[in-house]
Every structure is written in structure tokens, then in C-alpha cells.
């Protein structure tokens, strides 16, 4: 019950409120009617004294009556006001406005009343009669008569009209307006704008503002308007359905009206001449409104074909026409308009956009334009570049299409030209252009260097792999399934375009070579396609037009096919004949031969006839005849040699009955005559002639736009980004460098650095040469490379200017961050680095860093350092760079009391120079090779000037420390890059005036350090032979270094031999180490360490292998042979040598496979001697090497050493018994070692005996000879059995007896008799007795060995004959 009461109470309250509102509206209307009646009844002042006139007689009585009738009904409505037909209360007011007798005061009051009614929203779209009344209101207000008014009050009335019109368009029921009403509203508003031009400024501003509001309201509805079928037709009539709402028709008509405003001109007279100029104020206002319409409509314009066609044709034609010859303000507005169109409709304006750049922005930016216009044009270009997708899209749509011009490339080069400083302070346009360039750099860099971009970054460069018609376009939709395919397609088209331009250059010099180049570049199919030649002639810029005409007019069958295809590239729809002919003849020069002209005109006539938009011509022959007539008329009218000119009647008469026996329309011929007379057809090629956007060219553009692919909208791709930057890289780098050099403004310098980093980020994707060029340019600004400045001058320039510090920090930051992409740029970087070294500006930390950064130790790389950020997030690097190099940072340093040197060192420390080398493991091989080559050549003095030897030594040493750091950081690929480094060392040795000191000295030290580090890291595999090859090259280059660096070299060799012997695996490695050990250990101060290292190695037999055995022997012999070597050390060495024979036996017995036999990277020389190495590693051959070494030692000056060498030789023979079990091995060893030793000792003894005062030496040598004879006997008896089995035993035996005989008859001259003969008989006795006991020497045999021995013994020691041969000689039957 309570709820029902509440509802009833609420309903009652609502009813009261509604009644109150209705009453309020009645009161308002009553007030407005009363006010209007009072104004109407008020007579003019001149009638105040004529009381016989009634006030109501001052105007139309029907108006007064209608107002009174309305007043009578106001408080007695039969229904709510919202349901009442609005005409009931609006019509009286509208009648007042339309009346001719109403004064302006009454009109103003009436307009105010209507404005109030509209704003109160008394009716809406659902109110009966709303449509009729709102359209009637438009009709009445736009037809407002201001007959009885004066200029003072007229402005107020016109402003009121503007307010009412705005209120109508804002009213809820405005959607019921017809298209005609909306157009009327806009037209009326513009009329007010025009009329207000000579009136007060307030009215004009209000009128313009109202016009803008109307355009906004109309075109904001465009996205909601449905597309009608009639829009797709060329008809201008719309089907009259009952849909009451205004729509696309009014939008089209109003837009057409706005476009027409661009063509408003003023008539100017000067010096009696009359000419037309564009009305700038109207153009600016029109552009302002057009921009608003486009901004509010957005891409919905593209859904309405008629509106889109108007933008494509009318609007763009006006924009291009007036853009090239307008004021700065108009040009700026035009650029903004085109930019807005690009945003929403770029898919439909591909050709128009290219023409805008070609005929407006690029042309206005030329040097002939006023500076203000140039600035506006440059700003227009930059505005486009700031759009997120514009740069990549313009490159894909134009630069990669052979039938378009290179818009992006020209845009970039234009900005480079304007940004390039010409001396003095930078001008505003230079700063502006450089900012535009920076926008391009940053856009490409930010997109090409995205970390999450999965797209590939290569290959570079792209090659044409096969024939592909270069004029055919594929849309991106055709390749949506595989974006890579589409990108590859675009890149190939760019290459094709570049090849076409090259072919065009060849063609202009020799047409045959140009066409052959097309075939060579796979731009022409086999057999050739005539369309390819036709498109080449049609769209390739700057071709020789005379040569094109000669080719097209040639009678050969293929040339005629090309001519047919060439004519088919033209679209003549909508053109009159002279326009089409002009278009055709602009592309080549008509040849002089009549038959060629006939063929060319036949092709044109056929194409024009097929595409004629009317039925004027009955056949192509008619077209051709008229073409001839037009050309004759053109010559007649414009050739100064023709005195009597053809008249219009003559021309018409000459062309009678040419159209299939009938006449062409006289109006048509008259139009042709006047067109040719007023504007000649250019039949000659005029180089340098400026091409204008003529009407025929515009029609051709519109026709072509209907058949080409639409504007391609695409996302950024890394490969395309690289290619597009490559187009402008050269001038871009030069411009950035020049601006940095010329500018002193801190902000500008920072912008240059930002551009530098962006270019570096781009260059890492296949543009290494660009990065090199950039680094070389900026290294110049460090002031370090000035060859004419002294060290003090260089240091002063570096310390007192911020620019060199910025340059050096930028260069080394890039070298750290993008070092993978640096190639030739390393040279200038190294030159800067060495200059810093000479100026004492390098911190010691760089040396420590290079010495303590092994490749398996975690190294803090720039990409991992929070101070530098990730490689692909260089913005952090840039921010820190700018913060560090800012003026605030400098001031802070000064406040802290830092001196010049400390500030310089702070900058250098920020460069993180050492990390370039310690983190070089990531460098590509070609970059690594370039880096090493630059350092090695710098160390050799190439490009260097040293003031003192100390400076040279320090610089060379520093270079080799860097090489060592690189080598250690790249041990994982040592075998791949070090051969090239070794070649560089060989190349250095060939330098003119090359001095190996200190180069070789510092090199061998650095190489040995590197070798030790690599050994410590256990990374020697594959590097051993390479590094020792370089080490050997150094000491061979200058053997003095073995003396000057002996202590370090000995220490290094000793360390290798004692701590890392198991890591040496190659012949060259062991040979080098042991050679250095022996060569540097010969000095008294180094002898002990060297010999101990050798003894340690040989004592631990586990490290003696076939690989190093012979080198150990050589090293041992070198130590033993030293004049001042210690006897006990020599004896120890020889004992070890003798004991090593057991190793040979072990290797022989077990078939030893040496670890050194594993594959390793070797030089060509070592590969060629591999067979010899294998032979030399045979245990028997190694034993021969051992024996020869001991044999040589037996000739030493000291007797103790000689005698021990002979004893050691005996011991080695006995230990190697298993090696010598074959007769051949035994005999060869005797001949080569023991017999040779005995012979040498005997010869040495005789030599001493012939010298004066050499008795001691003679007797000493005699003692050694006696020992050697005893050893001979012992070894012979030990190996008697295998020796006797040799087929050459008889010869061997005679050799042994001959040496016994020689010793038996030895004479010492003045020093008396020799003691050797005393032992010979006993030795012979032992030998013969043993041979007899073993049956080797027997009286019973059939051989003659017994008798031979008998005679030899009888000759050597006759006393032994009877004792040893009691049986006598054999008796042979």
C-alpha cells in the first residue's frame, strides 16, 4: 500500500515538473512574440508625428496576424510542445525574416528568437513536421532580406544569421536536413565571409569561425554515412529515395566547392598589363577548411569513390599547381594538407604523392627559389620524415620501383645538401635540414636494431638470380604468407632499377652496349621481350631521346614490336588529340626520316583510336592524317622561317573529308588550331628544360593511377632499412662530419654524436665501409692525427676544447660497441691510440687489462656492462655519453679542482680502450685481420714518426702488447687467423728502410708471453706451430735479439720445458723452444738455469718423445759444446743421453705412436717435409742422431768430456742392442759413428802433433783415441754375431783392421812415440780369439777370411801371427 502511494506521489511530482516546463516554454514564446510585435509596431522616427498611421500598417498585416494568432494559442496547447508541429510557432518568425518590409532591428530580434527556440530544443527528430520546418528555417534564414537596413546594423544581423545557421546544424534534428539545405547553409556562410572582407574584423573572424564549425559538423558525420551505389558511377545524379538525412552528396558538393576556392584569382594591372594572381587569403582559408574536412573524415573518404576521386584529381591538381608558385604560408598549408591525405588515404595517392614531391617540394627547395620558400619546402620534407612509416613506405613504393623516381634517395640527398655547412655559423635552414637528417637516421637505427626483431639481416648485397619482368608489380598481399619472399622481391627490384640506370648511362653513349647490358643483367628475357625494351625507353630517366626515336622508327620487325609495346604504355583516355600527341612526343625526339615518322605516328594513332573517349574518329587512319596535319601546323605556326602563317580557316579546309570521307566537327578542329597556335608541341630534345605539370601530363597521371598497384603499406624490415640507408650513406656521413667540424654549439655537437651512433647502429648490418668512413672522419676531429703539430701543440688542442674530447670518446665508444663491423677503420683508431700513448694519456690499466685477460676468464664486455648497456639498446650509451660530455659535467670537474691532465685522463678512462682488445673474441675474422694488420704495420713504423728511440721502443712494445692481448682472447680460432698475422710479419720484413730493432725484439718477447699464456690456458692445439713459426721468424730477422732478450727468452723456454712439456706436440714447437734454450743459455749468467731445465726434461723421460728426441740431443750437444760449460753438468747430460737409448729400444719394441703425430695446422714447409720427419722419427735413425752427437762431443777440447762422451757412446750402443740386432743396422752404426769417431780422433791427434807447443793437447787426444779403440773393440765383440752375418762382413772386417793398423803406426812427430800401439796388439788378440772361439774365423772353412786376416795381422802386429795363427795359412787344392 505504501509503495503504491509513493508511486502515485512520484507521478504527481513528475506531472507538476512537466507542467511547469510546458508553462515555461509558453512564457518564453510569449515573450519573444511580444518583443517582436513591439519592435515591428515601432515606427521610424520620421513617422512619429503622423498619428493618423496605425502601427500595424508599417508591415505586412499577415505577419502581424500570424504573430497574434500564435500568441493566442501559446497558453492553451492541446498537447506537449515536443509533440506540436514546430511550424506552428516557427513559421511566424520565419515569415518575418523573409518579409521585404521588416526593418533590420526586427530581423535581428526575430533571429534571436529563432536562435533561442533552437537552443532550447523544443522539438526533435521525432516531432511531427520537424523535417519540413528545419529545412524551411534554412530556406528562410539563407534567404533573409535586408532591404530596410543600414551598414551599421547589417553587421549585427549577419552575425546573428551565422549564429542561427550554426544552431541549426548543431540541432538534434539537423540530420533531417536535405543535402541541398546543407549546401545552402555553407554557401550562405561563405557569402558572409566574402561580404565581411570590407567590413569589420569581428564579423570576418566570426564568419570564418562559423564556416570552420560547419565543415567540422558536416564531415564528422562522414564515417557514419553508408556508401550508395550511385557513388560508383560517373553520374552526378542521386536516386531520390525517401531517406531524409543529408549525406555524401552534400559532402561531395561542398568539397568540390572548397577545391574550387583554391583557383580563385585576383586581377592585377601593372604598367598597362593585366595578369592574374592567386588570392592568397582565400587559398589559405580554403586549405584550412579542407584540412579540417580530411582530419575529421579520416580514412572514411576512401569508402566514397566520388569524394576520393575528387581528392585524387581536383584537389591534388590544384595543390601541385599552386604549390610550386605560392607564398610560404600557402606552401606550408599545402604540405600539411598532403601530409593529412597521406595519413588517411595514401593507399590511393601513389602517383599523386610522387608528383607532389617532384613538382613541389623538390623543385621549391631548389636554389632558384627564395630562401623563405626553401625553408618551408625543407620543413615539409622533414614533416613527412617524422611520420612513423613514411620513410620505409616511400622507399618501397618509389625507390624500389623502376618506373618511379628515387623519392627517398633524393629526399635524403636534398637534406644533406642543405645541412652541409658552407662556412661560418650554421644558418637556420642548415640546422633545420640536419634535424631532418637526424630524424631519418634515428628512425632507421631504432627499427633496424630492434632486439626482438626475428627477421634476417642478410644477404648483402642482393644479386639478380634470374630473369624477372622488372615492370611487373606484386602486391604485398601476394606474399603475406611469407614476408621474406616479399622483401626479397622488393630488394631485387631495387637492384634491377640500379642496373637499369646503369644501362641507361651506357645507352646514351652507345645504344647497342646499353641494350646488351640489359641482357647481361638479366633484365631482358631470352628470346627478348619487346615490352622490356618499351618500358626501358618509357620510364628510364635521362635517356637520349634522339636515340629512342631512331630505335622506335627502325623498320626491323622486332623494333616495330617494341614500338607497339611502347605506344601501349600510354593511357589516352579523356585526352583530346593534341594533348595525347604532346604526351607521346615528349618521351622521345621524332626522327627526321619520313618513313620512321610514319611508323611512329601509326603506332600512336592506333593506340589513341582504341582509347578515344568519344566517337569523333571513325578509324585510326583519320587520327593519323590529323596527326600529320597537326605537326605541319605546329611547324607552320612556330617556325620563324615561315613568313605566311596558316589561318584557322586554312587548317579547317586542309582537313576536310579526312574522317572516313566526312568532316570532323568544326569546333574540334578550331580547338586544335588554337591549342597548337598558343602552345607549340616540342619536337626537339632540349636538355635542362624544366618539366612542368601540364594538363596533358596530369591527365596521363590520372589515367595511369587507375591501372597501377596502389600505395603499398608495409612495416619496417631490417634488410630494407640497410638498403635504404646505403642510398644516402655517402653524403650523410660527409654531412655529419662537416656539421660537427663547423659547429661550436653544444646542442648541435650532441646531435652530431647522436647521428654518429645511429649511423653506427645501421652500419653494423652489412655497411662496414660506411662505418669505417665515419670513424676516419671523426678521428680527424680528435686533433691527434695532425702530422704538422708538435706533441705540445696536440696536447694543448686536445685539452682546451670540448670537441676533440667528444670525438675521441665517440670513436672509442663505437669501437667498443660496434667493433664487429669495423674493417679498414681500425687503422685510424690505432693511430689515435698510439698518439695517446705518446702523449702519456693512456692509463696503465690498459696494459694490465691486456696482460690479465685470458680468454677463458670472464671478461666484462661492453654489451654486458651496465655502464654501456646492450648493443641493441644504444640509447643508454648515448644518454650516458651526453651526460658525461655536457657542460655541467665540465663545470663539476672544475669545481672539484681537477686539472687538465686529470680531466683528460677521465675522458680516456671512459673510452674503455682495453676492452676493445680483450673482448676481440667476438670479432668477425675479416675485422680481426684488419685490426691485427693495422697494429703490426704500426709497430713496424708504417705511418709513424718517432721523435726519439725511446718513443719508438715504447710504441712498438705497446703495439705488441695489444697483439698479444688479441691472440690470447682468440685462442679458440688461433689457427684460422694467425697464419695471416704471420704473413703480415713477412710483409713487414719487406718494407723499405725497415729496421728489425726494436720490432723483432719486442715481437719475440710478446710472442713468448703469448705462448706461455696459451700454454697455461691449455689452448695450444692448433696454435703451436703457428706461433713458433712467427717466433723463429723474429730471431731470424735479427739474431741479435737472442742476446738482448736472452734472460727473458731463457726464462720462458725454461718455463715451457719444466712446467708445460706435455703441451708441446709438434716438431717446430720443440725445436724452437730447445733452440731458444740452448741459444740463450750459453751466457754465464743464464747457463745454470738453461742446463738445469734441459736436465730436468731429460731426467723425466715421460716427456721425451720421438717428436722432441732429436731436438733434445741437439740442445744437449749445444750445452756440452760450450767452452766454459761445467764438466759435471756435461757428464750428467751425456749420461742422460746414453740412457735415452733405452727409450729408443722401448719405442722400437712397442711400436710407439707419438702424441706429436696428431694432426695440427702446419705451414706449407712443414707439410712438404712430413715424409722426412717420419723417417727421422724412426728409432734407428734417432739412435744414429744420438751416436753422431756423442761422436761430435768426443772431439771436445776437454779430455774429461771427450772420454766420457766415448764411454757414453759405448753405453748407448749396449743399451740399444735390440735396435741393432740386424747386421745392416750394426754395420751402418759402426761406419757412421764408431769408425767415424776413431777416424776423427786419430786425425785430430795428428793435427795437434803438427802444432808447436801442443804436446799436452796431443797426449790428451791420444788418450781419448786409446779409449775409443777400446770402446770399438768392446762394442764389436758385443755385436760380433749379427755383424758377422752380414754379406758385407769381409769389407767391414778389413775396415776395422785398417783402423787398427792406422793406430798401430801412429806417430806424434816431435812429441815422441805414441802410446796407442801398446794397446793395439792386445785388442787384436781379444778380437781374433773371440772370432775363432765363435767359429767366425776358422781354418777349416772354404772362404779366404782366415788367410786375409792372417796377412793383415802379420802386417799390423807380426808378433801376434804365430800366437794367433799357429795353424798357418790354409792350403787350397
Catalytic positions, written as ranges: 593
Cell of 1092: 738445469
In angstroms, the CA 757 to CA 878 distance is 7
Do residues 435 and 450 lie in contact, with contact meaning Cβ atoms separated by under 8 Å? Answer: no
Residue 726: partners with Cβ closer than 8 Å, 6 or more residues away = 767, 770
Cell of 816: 667498443
CA angle 969, 971, 973 (to 5 degrees): 110
Which residues sit opposite 270 in a β-bridge?
273
Cell of 562: 617494341
In angstroms, the CA 508 to CA 252 distance is 48
Question: 1313: which DSSP letter?
Answer: B
* C-alpha separations of 104 from 107, 136, 210, 1163 in Å: 5, 21, 21, 111
Do residues 314 and 278 lie in contact, with contact meaning Cβ atoms separated by under 8 Å? Answer: no
Rg (CA), the chain: 54
Question: 1343: which DSSP letter?
Answer: S
**767: closest CA among 1017, 371, 511, 458?**
458
**956: closest CA among 944, 965, 967, 970?**
944
461 preceded by a cis bond (ω within 30 of 0) = yes
* C-alpha separations of 266 from 199, 204, 277, 703 in Å: 19, 19, 5, 32
In angstroms, the CA 1098 to CA 1114 distance is 12
- Residue 103, classed as helix, strand or coil, is strand
**1095: closest CA among 1054, 1060, 1064?**
1054
3-state secondary structure 413-430: HHHHHHHCCCCCCCCHHH
**445: closest CA among 813, 878, 737, 919?**
878
Do residues 375 and 473 lie in contact, with contact meaning Cβ atoms separated by under 8 Å? Answer: no
In angstroms, the CA 814 to CA 907 distance is 15
In angstroms, the CA 449 to CA 764 distance is 9
To 10 degrees, what angle do helices 1199-1215 and 1127-1139 make?
Answer: 10
Task: Count Cβ atoms below 10 Å from residue 647 Cβ, excluding itself.
Answer: 11
**1139: closest CA among 1178, 1099, 1103, 1106?**
1099
Which residues sit opposite 268 in a β-bridge?
275
Question: 196: which DSSP letter?
Answer: G
To 10 degrees, what angle do helices 104-120 and 130-142 make?
Answer: 150
3-state secondary structure 603-638: HHHHHHHHHCCCCCCCCHHHHHHHHHHHHHHHHHHH
**196: closest CA among 89, 80, 281, 288?**
281
H or E element, residue 897 = none
**307: closest CA among 245, 253, 350?**
253
**545: closest CA among 384, 728, 683?**
683
Cell of 696: 596533358
In angstroms, the CA 678 to CA 1066 distance is 94
Cell of 529: 621481350
Amino acid at each position: 500500500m505504501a509503495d503504491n502511494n509513493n508511486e502515485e506521489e512520484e507521478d504527481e511530482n513528475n506531472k507538476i515538473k512537466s507542467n511547469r516546463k510546458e508553462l515555461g516554454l509558453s512564457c518564453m514564446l510569449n515573450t519573444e512574440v511580444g518583443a517582436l510585435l513591439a519592435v515591428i509596431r515601432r515606427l521610424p522616427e520620421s513617422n512619429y508625428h503622423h498619428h493618423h498611421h496605425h502601427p500595424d500598417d508599417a508591415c505586412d498585416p499577415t505577419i502581424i496576424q500570424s504573430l497574434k494568432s500564435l500568441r493566442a494559442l501559446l497558453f492553451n496547447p492541446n498537447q506537449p510542445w515536443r509533440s506540436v508541429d514546430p511550424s506552428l510557432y516557427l513559421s511566424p518568425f520565419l515569415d518575418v525574416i523573409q518579409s521585404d518590409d521588416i526593418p533590420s532591428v526586427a530581423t535581428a530580434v526575430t533571429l534571436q528568437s529563432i536562435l533561442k527556440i533552437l537552443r532550447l530544443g523544443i522539438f526533435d527528430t521525432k516531432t511531427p513536421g520537424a523535417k519540413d520546418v528545419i529545412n524551411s528555417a534554412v530556406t528562410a534564414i539563407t534567404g533573409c532580406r535586408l532591404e530596410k537596413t543600414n551598414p551599421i546594423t547589417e553587421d549585427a544581423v549577419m552575425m546573428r544569421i551565422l549564429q542561427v545557421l550554426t544552431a541549426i546544424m548543431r540541432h538534434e534534428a539537423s540530420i533531417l536536413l536535405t543535402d541541398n539545405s546543407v549546401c545552402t547553409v555553407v554557401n550562405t556562410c561563405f557569402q558572409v565571409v566574402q561580404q565581411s572582407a570590407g567590413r569589420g574584423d569581428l564579423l570576418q573572424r566570426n564568419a570564418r569561425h562559423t564556416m570552420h564549425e560547419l565543415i567540422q559538423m558536416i564531415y564528422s558525420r562522414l564515417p557514419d554515412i553508408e556508401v550508395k551505389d550511385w557513388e560508383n558511377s560517373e553520374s552526378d545524379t542521386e536516386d531520390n529515395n525517401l531517406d531524409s538525412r543529408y549525406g555524401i552528396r552534400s559532402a561531395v558538393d561542398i568539397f568540390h566547392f572548397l577545391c574550387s576556392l583554391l583557383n580563385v584569382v585576383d586581377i592585377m594591372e601593372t604598367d598597362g598589363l593585366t595578369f592574374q594572381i592567386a588570392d592568397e587569403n582565400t587559398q589559405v582559408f580554403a586549405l584550412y577548411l579542407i584540412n579540417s574536412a580530411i582530419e575529421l573524415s579520416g580514412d572514411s573518404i576512401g569508402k566514397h569513390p566520388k569524394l576520393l576521386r575528387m581528392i585524387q584529381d581536383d584537389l591534388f591538381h590544384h595543390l601541385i599547381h599552386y604549390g610550386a608558385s605560392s607564398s610560404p604560408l600557402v606552401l606550408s598549408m599545402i604540405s600539411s594538407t598532403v601530409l593529412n591525405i597521406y595519413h588517411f588515404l595514401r593507399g590511393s595517392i601513389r602517383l599523386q604523392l610522387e608528383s607532389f614531391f617532384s613538382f613541389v617540394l623538390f623543385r621549391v627547395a631548389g636554389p632558384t627559389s627564395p630562401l623563405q620558400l626553401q625553408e618551408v619546402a625543407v620543413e615539409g620534407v622533414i614533416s613527412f620524415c617524422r611520420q612513423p612509416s613514411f620513410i620505409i613506405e616511400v622507399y618501397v613504393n618509389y625507390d624500389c620501383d623502376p618506373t618511379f623516381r628515387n623519392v627517398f634517395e633524393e629526399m635524403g640527398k636534398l637534406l644533406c645538401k642543405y645541412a652541409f655547412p658552407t662556412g661560418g655559423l650554421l644558418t637556420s635552414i642548415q640546422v633545420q635540414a640536419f634535424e631532418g637528417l637526424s630524424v631519418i637516421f634515428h628512425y632507421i637505427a631504432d627499427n633496424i636494431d630492434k632486439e626482438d626483431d626475428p627477421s634476417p639481416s642478410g644477404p648483402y648485397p642482393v644479386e639478380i638470380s634470374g630473369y624477372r619482368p622488372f615492370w611487373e608489380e606484386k602486391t604485398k598481399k601476394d606474399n603475406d604468407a611469407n614476408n621474406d619472399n616479399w622483401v626479397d622481391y622488393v630488394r631485387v627490384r631495387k637492384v634491377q632499377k640500379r642496373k637499369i640506370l646503369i644501362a641507361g648511362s651506357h645507352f646514351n653513349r652507345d645504344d647497342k652496349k646499353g641494350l646488351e647490358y640489359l641482357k647481361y643483367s638479366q633484365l631482358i628475357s631470352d628470346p627478348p621481350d619487346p615490352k622490356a625494351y618499351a618500358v626501358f625507353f618509357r620510364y628510364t630517366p635521362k635517356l637520349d631521346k634522339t636515340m629512342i626515336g631512331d630505335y622506335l622508327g627502325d623498320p626491323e620487325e622486332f623494333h616495330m614490336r617494341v614500338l607497339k609495346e611502347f605506344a601501349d604504355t600510354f593511357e589516352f583516355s579523356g585526352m583530346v588529340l593534341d594533348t595525347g600527341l604532346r604526351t607521346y612526343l615528349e618521351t622521345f625526339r621524332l626522327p627526321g626520316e619520313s618513313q620512321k615518322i610514319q611508323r611512329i605516328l601509326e603506332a600512336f594513332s592506333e593506340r589513341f583510336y582504341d582509347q578515344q573517349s568519344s566517337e569523333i574518329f571513325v578509324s585510326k587512319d583519320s587520327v593519323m592524317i590529323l596527326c600529320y596535319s597537326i605537326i605541319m601546323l605546329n611547324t607552320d605556326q612556330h617556325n620563324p622561317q615561315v613568313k605566311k602563317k596558316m589561318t584557322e580557316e586554312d587548317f579547317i579546309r586542309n582537313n576536310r573529308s579526312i574522317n572516313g570521307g566526312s568532316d570532323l566537327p568544326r569546333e574540334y578542329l578550331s580547338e586544335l588550331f588554337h591549342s597548337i597556335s598558343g602552345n607549340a608541341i616540342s619536337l626537339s630534345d632540349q636538355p635542362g628544360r624544366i618539366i612542368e605539370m601540364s594538363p596533358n601530363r596530369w591527365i596521363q597521371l590520372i589515367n595511369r593511377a587507375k591501372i597501377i598497384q596502389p600505395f603499398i603499406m608495409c612495416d619496417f624490415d631490417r634488410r630494407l632499412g640497410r638498403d635504404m640507408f646505403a642510398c644516402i650513406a655517402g653524403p650523410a656521413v660527409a654531412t655529419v662530419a662537416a656539421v660537427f667540424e663547423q659547429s661550436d654549439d653544444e646542442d648541435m655537437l650532441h646531435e652530431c654524436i647522436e647521428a654518429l651512433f645511429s649511423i653506427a647502429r645501421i652500419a653494423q648490418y652489412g655497411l662496414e665501409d660506411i662505418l669505417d668512413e665515419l670513424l676516419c672522419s671523426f678521428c680527424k676531429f680528435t686533433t691527434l692525427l695532425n702530422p704538422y703539430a708538435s706533441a705540445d701543440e696536440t696536447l694543448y688542442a686536445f685539452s682546451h676544447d670540448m670537441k676533440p674530447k667528444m670525438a675521441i670518446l665517440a670513436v672509442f665508444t663505437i669501437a667498443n660497441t660496434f667493433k664487429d663491423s669495423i674493417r679498414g677503420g681500425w687503422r685510424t683508431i690505432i693511430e689515435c691510440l698510439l698518439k695517446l700513448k705518446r702523449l702519456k694519456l693512456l692509463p696503465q690499466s690498459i696494459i694490465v687489462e691486456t696482460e690479465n685477460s685470458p680468454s677463458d676468464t670472464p671478461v666484462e664486455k661492453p654489451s654486458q656492462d651496465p655502464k654501456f648497456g646492450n648493443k641493441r639498446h644504444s640509447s643508454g650509451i648515448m644518454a650516458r655519453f651526453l651526460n658525461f660530455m655536457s657542460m655541467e659535467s665540465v663545470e663539476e670537474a672544475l669545481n672539484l679542482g681537477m686539472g687538465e691532465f686529470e680531466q683528460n685522463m677521465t675522458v680516456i678512462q671512459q673510452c674503455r680502450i682495453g676492452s676493445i682488445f680483450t673482448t676481440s673474441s667476438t670479432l668477425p675474422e675479416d675485422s680481426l685481420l684488419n685490426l691485427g694488420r693495422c697494429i703490426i704495420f704500426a709497430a713496424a713504423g708504417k705511418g709513424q714518426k718517432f721523435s726519439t728511440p725511446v718513443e719508438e721502443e715504447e710504441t712498438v712494445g705497446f703495439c705488441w702488447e695489444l697483439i698479444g692481448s688479441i691472440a690470447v682472447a682468440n685462442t679458440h680460432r688461433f689457427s684460422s687467423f694467425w697464419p695471416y698475422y704471420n704473413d703480415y710479419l713477412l710483409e713487414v720484413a719487406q718494407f723499405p728502410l725497415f729496421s728489425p730493432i726494436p720490432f723483432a725484439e719486442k715481437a719475440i718477447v710478446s710472442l713468448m708471453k703469448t705462448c706461455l699464456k696459451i700454454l697455461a690456458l691449455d689452448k695450444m692445439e692448433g696454435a703451436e706451430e703457428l706461433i713458433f713459426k712467427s717466433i723463429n721468424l723474429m730471431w731470424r730477422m735479427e739474431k741479435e735479439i737472442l742476446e738482448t732478450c736472452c734472460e727473458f727468452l731463457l726464462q720462458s723456454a725454461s718455463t715451457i720445458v719444466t712446467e708445460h712439456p706435455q703441451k708441446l706436440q709438434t716438431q717446430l714447437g720443440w725445436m724452437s723452444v730447445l733452440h731458444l734454450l740452448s741459444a740463450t743459455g750459453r751466457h754465464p749468467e743464464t747457463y745454470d738455469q738453461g742446463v738445469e731445465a734441459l736436465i730436468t726434461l731429460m731426467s723425466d723421460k715421460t716427456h721425451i718423445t720421438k717428436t722432441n728426441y732429436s731436438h733434445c740431443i741437439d740442445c744437449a750437444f749445444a750445452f756440452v759444446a760450450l767452452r766454459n760449460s761445467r764438466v759435471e753438468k756435461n757428464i750428467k747430460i751425456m749420461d742422460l743421453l746414453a740412457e735415452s737409448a733405452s727409450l729408443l729400444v722401448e719405442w722400437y719394441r712397442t711400436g710407439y705412436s707419438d702424441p706429436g703425430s696428431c694432426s695440427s695446422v702446419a705451414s706449407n714447409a712443414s707439410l712438404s717435409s712430413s715424409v722426412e720427419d717420419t723417417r727421422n722419427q724412426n728409432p734407428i735413425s734417432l739412435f744414429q742422431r744420438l751416436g753422431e752427437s756423442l761422436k761430435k762431443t768426443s772431439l771436445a777440447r776437454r779430455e774429461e768430456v771427450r772420454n766420457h762422451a766415448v764411454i757414453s757412446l759405448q753405453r748407448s750402443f749396449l743399451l740399444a742392442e735390440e735396435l741393432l740386432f740386424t747386421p745392416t743396422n750394426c754395420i751402418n752404426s759402426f761406419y757412421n759413428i764408431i769408425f767415424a769417431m776413431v777416424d776423427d780422433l786419430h786425425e785430430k791427434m795428428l793435427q795437434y802433433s803438427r802444432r808447436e807447443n801442443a804436446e799436452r793437447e796431443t797426449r790428451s787426444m791420444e788418450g781419448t783415441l786409446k779409449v775409443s779403440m777400446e770402446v770399438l773393440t768392446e762394442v764389436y765383440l758385443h755385436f760380433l754375431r749379427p755383424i758377422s752375418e752380414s754379406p758385407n762382413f769381409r769389407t767391414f772386417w778389413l775396415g776395422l783392421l785398417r783402423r787398427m793398423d792406422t793406430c798401430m803406426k801412429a806417430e806424434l812427430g816431435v812429441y815422441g812415440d805414441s802410446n796407442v800401439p801398446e794397446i793395439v796388439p792386445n785388442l787384436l788378440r781379444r778380437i781374433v780369439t773371440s772370432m775363432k772361439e765363435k767359429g767366425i774365423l776358422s781354418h777349416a772353412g772354404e772362404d779366404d777370411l782366415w788367410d786375409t786376416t792372417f796377412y793383415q795381422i802379420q802386417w799390423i802386429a807380426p808378433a801376434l801371427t804365430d800366437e794367433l795363427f799357429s795353424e798357418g795359412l790354409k792350403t787350397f787344392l
